[in-house]
Amino acid sequence: MNDDVSQPAQLVELSTVPFPGLLFTLLSKRFTGVATLYQTEPCEGERMVWFRGGMPVLTDWEQEESRLGELVVAQGLLAGAVVDTALAAAEGRLFGEVLVEQGLLDRNAVLTLLRTQCTRRLIDLFGVTDGTVALAACEVDRELLQVNVLDLIHRGISARYDIGRVRAELGEAWGASMRATPAYEKYVEHFNFRSDDGSLLGFLGSGGSADIAALGRLPDMNPQRAAQLVGVLWFCRMLEGSAPLAAPAPVVDYAADPESFEQALAALEQQLAASVEPAVVLELDNDADTKSIEAAFVRLATRFDPRALPPDVDDELHTRVTAVAAALA
């Protein structure tokens, strides 16, 4: 690895540019070089992350159970005793090179392990919220395998971000109605999202727009996961926010007026059973615009969300509301 920089370092404060945002910026700029930052206790010291074409390829960030020998054993590639013997013979040389020299692993296997190591270690950096990163261009080994940055950002935010962290880093955008950018459809598969993220991803992919609270009430979704997904897509510029939708007229929930709620539920059940026009169900004109339709749908789905019912509600009512929610979904 060549650490000779070709230009002065550029300094970035993680308190201003969060780590996922920095990663995506470096990807967009196809940055090739090294990022240097300080790791705090218990593994105190200066650490480096090498990038090629905007994608990480190697890091010396300290993390338990991520040394190359540990990964070899954990993946069942070699027995622990064999690794110990190879380590003893390394005498300060790069362990991966020793494994190749001794014929224990081929070079492709070692390069794949180094990419796995880099990914695991970089997930830790999503927990770092302050500090200075120095960026400097330099030549980087072209043989090292590149880490998928979009997948890394997804994994890092899923592992290290809660609702409060997403809200703090989105700032004013937190309350906005979110919609997908044109880049969303092209790149969404590269994140390797979970199968149970489908309702939110499908909603955005179909042109839907809603705030994070409403997204968290979609089927198979919860508030924290919705916030994480929005954070991932926001930092990667796959979402844009618009002004929050105008607040709809208040609706009466079950706890406030059970009788009115059950009357509204019965009316909705009849409409759904009769397959009436969606505009009638949503109480809109046939020429309503997209935002009005989305607002009405979110309002209706929120009101008849079985998770919002009191815990002591009778089973029959809970079953009816669940069926309506499924029909709306």
pLDDT of residue 124: 95
C-beta of residue 241 within 8 angstroms of C-beta of residue 180: no
Specify the pLDDT at position 256.
66
Dist CA 220 CA 326 (whole Å): 11
The pLDDT of residue 8 is 64
pLDDT in tens, the chain (329 residues): 655 555 567 999 999 999 999 999 999 999 999 999 999 988 899 999 999 999 999 999 999 888 877 888 777 777 777 777 777 777 777 777 778 777 778 888 889 999 999 999 999 999 999 999 999 999 999 999 999 999 999 999 999 999 999 999 999 899 899 999 999 999 999 999 999 999 999 999 999 999 999 999 999 999 999 999 999 999 999 999 875 544 444 454 666 678 888 888 888 887 777 776 776 677 776 667 776 777 777 777 777 888 778 877 788 888 888 888 887 76
Q: What is the pLDDT of residue 85?
A: 78
pLDDT of residue 248: 45
- Mark out the alpha helices in the chain (DSSP H runs): 19-28, 68-74, 80-90, 95-101, 107-125, 149-160, 163-170, 183-187, 198-205, 212-215, 223-235, 258-273, 278-281, 290-303, 315-328
* 281 SS3 class: helix
pLDDT number for residue 196: 94
Q: Taking the CB of residue 165, how many other CB atoms lie within 10 A of it?
A: 18
The structure's pTM equals 0.72
The pLDDT value given to residue 304: 82
Residue with tokens 């979704």: 221
Kindly write down the DSSP assignment for every residue of 198-261, as one continuous string.
Answer: HHHHHHHHTT--B-HHHHTTSTT--HHHHHHHHHHHHHTT-EEEEPPPPPPPP---TTT-HHHH
pLDDT for position 84: 76
